[in-house]
Structure 1
Amino acid sequence: MFSKGRTSVLLFLFLAGVVNYLDRSALSIAAPFITEDLHLTPTQLGIIFSSFSVGYAIFNFVGGVASDRYGAKLTLFVAMIVWSLFSGAVALAFSFVSMIIIRVLFGMGEGPLSATINKMVNNWFPADKRASAIGLANSGTPLGGAIAGPIVGIIALNYGWKVSFVIIMVIGLVWAIGWWLFIKDKPAEESKHTKATDKLADKAASGEKIPLTFYLKQKTVLFTAFAFFAYNYILFFFLTWFPSYLTDARGLSIKEMSVVTVIPWVLGFVGLALGGIVSDNVYRKVGKALFARKVVLVTCLFLSAVCIGLAGIVSTTVSAVTLVALSVFFLYLTGSIYWAIVQDVVDQNNVGSVGGFMHFLANTAGIIGPTLTGYLVEVTGTYTIAFLLAGGLAVFASLSVIRFVRPIQLNKTDTIKEKVI
């Protein structure tokens, strides 16, 4: 699995995830300072959190199509430069409106990341190792979230919150230079093993081009996207509002909050790295790729839902933090599975585009969730309903996966249909 070329690809994709969530988490960590400087209400802060996902969701799909058409290497290179520059531009924000504009553009830059990771893994890894590779590559994202708290918190307290965004920008630009110089879009020669196992994921007949529009109408794609929506709803709730919840509802100081937020992220890092490995091991034992994906997705998304719901009704800070940490752990165990399902049911020419489309639908949760949470907090004066809503949505999504996510294949007359399992 880990040849020299594959190791380099995984390492750079891992580091891209670290930078991605370091950038993304920085705003939530600095939110108390920004709220004070820009005189924001909870609803306005929620809108700012959501504005990121407006640009992000749209460019999930655009980035996926670009990775199929122009290659994942070029797409991710451009994306990293754009999002790093606009991460630094947060330091220039002087009002509610200016912050919204910057965050939308920042989101556009980050949008292509996950689809390009999926495309690069498809280019470099055989089918029975892709979930593991996706999990390891994406496990950099919660690590970025974990280190964001101490880094941004310490810099903000000592030098001002704006300096932290400039430093993060420089880190991203350095990564982009290394990516362009040292990484290839595809391996020079594909091994026979890779070609053979790719047939497990490629359902299209030899030489036949399957239109993208076909996949975009399939229940398997749409309900995988719905489950991913529920995943992202919990994730964005945690990513955007958890630091404010700790300071507002639990009375923690900025310094204490910066440390506490590390705990769920560390568990998330472990979960994301393990989820794909567990799924691939089940796949190799039972020989049914989609079954292996669904077992992990349904079980862990349901457990995540239960934990996040309970976190909203417990009375102590320790209990709340513990339950949120467990929720993030179980949530991230499913993190690579959505992408692995795309790898399993979509032909290679459409992997980036279909993955980007799924990610686009899923990330509308990032538009709806933070603003809705801000509204609920402002109206009710508590976070309880927001916690319960996040959990209930994930329960419903996990049940939907059992019913609707099925293999897609061509029949003998080249008519595409869904195969019931």
Structure 2
Amino acid sequence: MFSQGKSKSIIILFLFLAGVINYLDRSALSVAAPYIQSDLSLTPTEMGIIFSSFSVGYAIFNFIGGIAADRYGAKLTLFVAMIVWSLFSGALALVIGFASMVIIRVLFGMGEGPLTTTTSKMINNWFPPSNRATVMGLAASGTPLGGAISGPIVGFIAITYGWRISFLIIMVIGFIWSICWLKFVKEKPENSTEKIKTENKKVERETNLKLTFYLKQKTVLFTAFAFFAYNYILFFFLTWFPSFLVDARGLSIQQMSIVTVIPWVLGFAGLALGGLVSDFFYKKFFKKGVLFSRKLVLVTCLFLSAVCIGFAGLVTTTASAVTLVAFSVFFLYLTGSIYWAIVNDVVDKNNIGSVGGFMHFLANTAGIIGPTLTGFLVDKSGTYTAAFLLAGGLSVVASLAVIRFVRPITKPAPQIISENVTFDSKTRM
């Protein structure tokens, strides 16, 4: 239907739009939170539990979604995921209290869980290692854009028509994307023009490594820890920053919905540029090892993000707090594609989805712990200062851990066989 070059562009576009919808859905609750909290008579601790409940389903289905992408394909897995999460996003319009909100948010999180692992799997299917981080950054940059537009859109709808209507509109958008994705996107490039050949030659065949081999590697575990710190800051910003602006800084709902756009715009730029920067260093410092460029960007930018978010809790003016949070999100998102680039660099194709899903599962436990812990700290202290400092301190530790523990993975020696082998372009090495 399309040339391979055009098909690649379509895939990037659809993955970008999936990210926009994903964070439009996810951010909608945070923007509408002051209305929801008032309407349902929720305490800050209860609101924190609601924010965290999303990540219970989300973290589990990061892993399950990755396994499904390896087994059934990224295209089908992402189609089902979009349908499910859109359906339960719309179902938020039906909540009647705390318990129903928690249940629906868990189910909503289950639907969103496979997004990033299926995105990584699809990119691995279509793009070479030298520009996968760039493509991952461009595709994932839709997520902060979704966060940016959710403030004005959801804020306007909530003020004009009520907060419940905004979730129904977002559900319809997700259904439309799903139909188009199923119609226009292919799982892998077609190689129908290449004939199957029989050759008598030595073939070096990579040992079929089990998933458990990778799950025990320090590189995977400490990349997941860094991703945990990334998600801790992200979920803190995503869930509590709008309420911080209203409660601690005295902004109105209208003012808050506009101000929250600023960090998201910088995040969009950071996520789009992060992959480009990583691939630039990948090509420039290739002789020093593939992980050197990834670690250089990850450690530097995660540390800078930590410093900014920590100081944002100490400053006394709204402008300085918003500025520091915006720069924290910018530096944070510069690392956004690096975690996935590392997985693509060190894991064989058959385990990309599963290992990426496992890493994402561990990382997104931050979304379970962070929002609830933040609500508890706010309840007990009456301020957000401790929550800001905790988010920053965790990321400093994670940056140091990456320097120490993320190393190339030593795999078992490949088997060498000599036989008549029938193979096509997919098995040629």
Give how far 1:141 is off.
0.1
Distance 1:190 1:150 in 2: 47
- Secondary structure of 2:306's match? helix
Which residue does the alignment assign to 1:201?
A: none
Tell me the residue number matched to 1:38: 40
Q: TM-score, normalised by structure 2?
A: 0.92
CA separation in 2, counterparts of 1:274 and 1:313? 29
Give the Cα separation in 1 of the matches to 2:189 and 2:151: 37
What does residue range 178-327 of structure 1 map to in structure 2 within 5 Å?
A: 178-189=180-191, 206-287=205-286, 288-327=289-328
- CA shift digits 1:89-145 (9 cap, x unpaired): 000000100000000000000000000000000000000000001000000000000
For 1:140, the equivalent position in structure 2 comes to 142
- The structural deviation recorded for 1:260 is 0.2
Q: Percent identity?
A: 75
Moved more, 205-214 or 143-152: 205-214
Amino acid across the alignment from 1:360: F
- C-alpha separation in 1, matches of 2:109 and 2:414: 43
Q: Structure 1 residue 411: deviation in Å?
A: 4.5
Q: State how 1:302-381 maps to structure 2 within 5 Å.
A: 302-381=303-382
Select the residue among 43, 66, 69 that pairs with 2:68: 66
8 Å CA contact 1:51–1:367 kept in 2: the answer is yes
1:346-383, Cα deviation, whole Å (9 max, x unpaired): 00000000000000000000000000000000000000
Residue aligned with 2:205, SS: coil
**What amino acid does structure 2 have at the position aligned with 1:325?**
A
* Correspondence 1:114-153 to 2 at 5 A: 114-153=116-155
Indicate how the Cα distance of structure 1 residues 384 and 134 shifts in structure 2: closer, same or farther if over 3 A, else same: same
Contact 1:345 1:409 in 2 (8 A): no
User: Displacement of 1:412 after TM fit?
Assistant: 3.5
Question: How far off its partner does 1:207 sit?
Answer: 4.6
Cα deviation for residue 289 of structure 1 reads 1.7
* Structure 2: gaps of 5 or more residues: 195-203, 416-429
The residue aligned with 2:88 is: 86
Distance verdict in 2 for CA 1:242–1:81, change over 3 Å: same
Distance 1:228 1:190 in 2: 39
Structure 1 counterpart SS, 2:410: strand
User: Against the structure 1 CA distance between its residues 374 and 6, is the aligned structure 2 distance closer, same or farther, given a 3 Å change threshold?
Assistant: same
Among residues 160, 163, 179, which one is paired with 2:162 in the alignment?
160
2:421 aligned partner: none
RMSD: 1.4
Instruction: State the Cα deviation string for residues 234-269 of structure 1 (Å, max 9, x = none).
Output: 000000000000000000000000000000000000
Aligned to 2:25: 23
Paired position in structure 2 for 1:75: 77
Question: For residue 365 of structure 1, what is the amino acid of its counterpart?
Answer: A
Alpha-carbon deviations, 1:378-418, whole Å to 9, x = none? 0000000000000000000000000000111324477xxxx
Could you tell me how far apart the structure 2 residues matched to 1:350 and 1:338 are? 15
Alpha-carbon distance between aligned partners in 2 of 1:141 and 1:191, rounded to the nearest angstrom: 37
Pair 1:266–1:229, CA change in 2 (3 A): same
Kept in 1: contact 2:207–2:414 (CA 8 A): no
Q: SS of the counterpart of 1:251?
A: coil
Aligned to 2:200: none
Task: Decide whether the 8 Å contact of 1:275 with 1:334 is kept in 2.
Answer: yes
1:11 and 2:13 equivalent? yes
* Structure 2 counterpart of 1:54: 56
Rounded to whole Å, the distance in 2 between the matches of 1:248 and 1:147 is: 22
Q: What is the aligned partner in structure 1 of residue 419 from structure 2?
A: none
Normalised by the size of structure 1, how large is the TM-score? 0.94
Q: Is the 8 A contact 1:135 1:274 kept in 2?
A: yes
Counterpart amino acid of residue 53 in structure 2: S
Q: Deviations over 1:175-234 (max 9, x none)?
A: 000000000000113999xxxxxxxxxxxx625211000000100000000000000000
- Residues 190 and 366 (structure 1), Cα distance of their counterparts in 2 relative to 1, 3 Å cut: farther
Question: Once the 2 structures are TM-superposed, how far is the Cα of residue 62 of structure 1 from its aligned partner?
Answer: 0.2
SS in 2 for 1:39: coil
Q: What is the CA-CA distance between 1:5 and the residue it aligns to?
A: 1.1
Question: Per-residue CA shift, 1:135-172, capped at 9, x if unaligned?
Answer: 00000000000000000000000000000000000000
Q: Is the 8 A contact 1:42 1:375 kept in 2?
A: yes
Unaligned ranges ≥5, structure 1: 193-204, 415-421
Q: CA deviation at 1:3?
A: 1.7
List, as ranges, runs of 4+ consecutive aligned residues in structure 1 with deviation greater than 6 Å: none
SS at match of 1:299: helix
Partner of 2:405: 404
* Native 8 Å contact 2:377 2:387 kept in 1: yes
Question: Could you tell me which amino acid in structure 1 is paired with residue 221 of structure 2?
Answer: L
> Distance in 2 between the 1:8 and 1:167 partners?
24
User: Which position in structure 2 is the counterpart of 1:200?
Assistant: none
1:390 matched to which residue of 2?
391
